[in-house]
A and B are shown apart, each in its own frame.
Chain A
Amino acid sequence: MTAAQGLNAAYLQPNYPPPIREQTLQGLTKWHDQEALLRKPPRREGAIVTERLGARALFHSSPIMLDQDLVDLQKSYGFPSNDSVVKFLANHRAVSSVLLAAAPRLKEYFGHDSILNLEVSTDEDESQTLYAVTIWHENVHTAAEALDRFEENWWLDHMTPNTTDLAFTYKLA
């Protein structure tokens, strides 16, 4: 069956939306499957759910860490699609609680609707740093000011030898 025959056969099905006709600049007539045109794009939420399930599964494989920490962190921070952050958190247990405590303070200084992401940076010597990144749509100077206030009023007083693998920054959008 050709594509045209297939479309025609589908068109003859009850309740099937009629095809849309397009007249091209060259004077040709094209028929488009209306249902395909109106079909919604893949839902981003689905991808996130899949990523979260994968991340949670990896988290469960670490018997020491608390699953609840990861669930709570994902309420405040976006995770990358790979498992780099979950692996990092599994190897740096003290970081999770600091991140959980930092989230409301970041929102306080950057704005309550600000988006926070976690990203792992790997140096040439394979050492890693976990960055909590605030996505920023406004003036860069206001981001720097917000970050400065967060550091001065909270972060500098919560740095410990166990949290030196953690850093906070912003990213312009």
Chain B
Amino acid sequence: MMAGTPFNWAEYLRLATDLSQNSDEASHRTSISRAYYSVFHAATIQAGRNGYAGRSHKKLWKTFADDQDRGCRKLSAIANTMKRAREDADYVTAVPRISDEMAQQLAYANDFLTRLAALSPNVPKPQ
């Protein structure tokens, strides 16, 4: 890839899916983390089209949560669940049933991106 070429953040979800095929816990933890960041960046791009700017996870999901559009609020709810799982995967030493959790996080990521693609292009509107 040439320097400066925009990275396709969907590659994170592809990587997360690939890692899920491995049997080791490090792969499963990283899969959960990449799945979250795939939706974080996709949502940042969507919000950015409407004037949003920033890298704060809290600020981004608040932008979705505050919107009048119910679909945006649903995305903020899914994202906060994924964010919490990502934090556990990256920081907590013992996570019960992490392979089960990984499968659910991949399902969340796919659901999130489907819902995001179905949103009106003019939402969310930053306050």
Contacts and interface: CB of A to CB of B under 8 A. Distances in A.
B74 A151 contact: yes
B80 A172 contact: no
Interface string B73-116: 11011001101110110000000110011011001100000000
Contact of A161 (B66, B96, B107): B66
Interface stretch (A21-29, A77-85, A99-107, A121-129): A121-129
A58 interface: no
A141 interface: yes
B65 interface: yes
B70 interface: yes
A172 B57 contact: no
B56 interface: yes
Given A121-B87, A159-B73, A172 B58 contact: no
Contacts of B59: 127
Contacts of A152: 74
Interface in B34-70: 56-59, 61-62, 65-66, 70
Given A127-B58, A172-B100, A144 B107 contact: yes
Interface residues of A, number: 28
A168 B77 contact: yes
Contacts of A159: 65, 73, 76
Given A123-B56, A151-B74, A164-B66, A129 B104 contact: no
Contacts of A172: 96-97, 100-101
A169 interface: yes
B70 A156 contact: yes
A131 B77 CA distance: 11
Contacts of A139: 100
A167 interface: yes
Contact of A140 (B73, B87, B103, B127): B103
A170 B61 CA distance: 18
Given A123-B57, A125-B58, A131-B84, A156 B97 contact: no
Interface in A81-113: none
Interface of B: 56-59, 61-62, 65-66, 70, 73-74, 76-77, 80-81, 83-85, 87-88, 96-97, 100-101, 103-104, 107-108, 127
Of all A-B residue pairs in the complex, the 9 with the closest CB atoms, nearest first, are A167-B80, A127-B58, A164-B65, A140-B100, A169-B81, A164-B62, A172-B97, A140-B104, A151-B77
Interface of A: 121, 123, 125, 127-129, 131, 133, 139-141, 143-144, 147, 151-152, 155-156, 159, 161, 164, 167-173
Given A131-B84, A172-B101, A173-B96, 10 more contacts: A121-B84, A125-B56, A127-B58, A127-B59, A129-B58, A129-B80, A147-B81, A151-B77, A156-B70, A171-B88
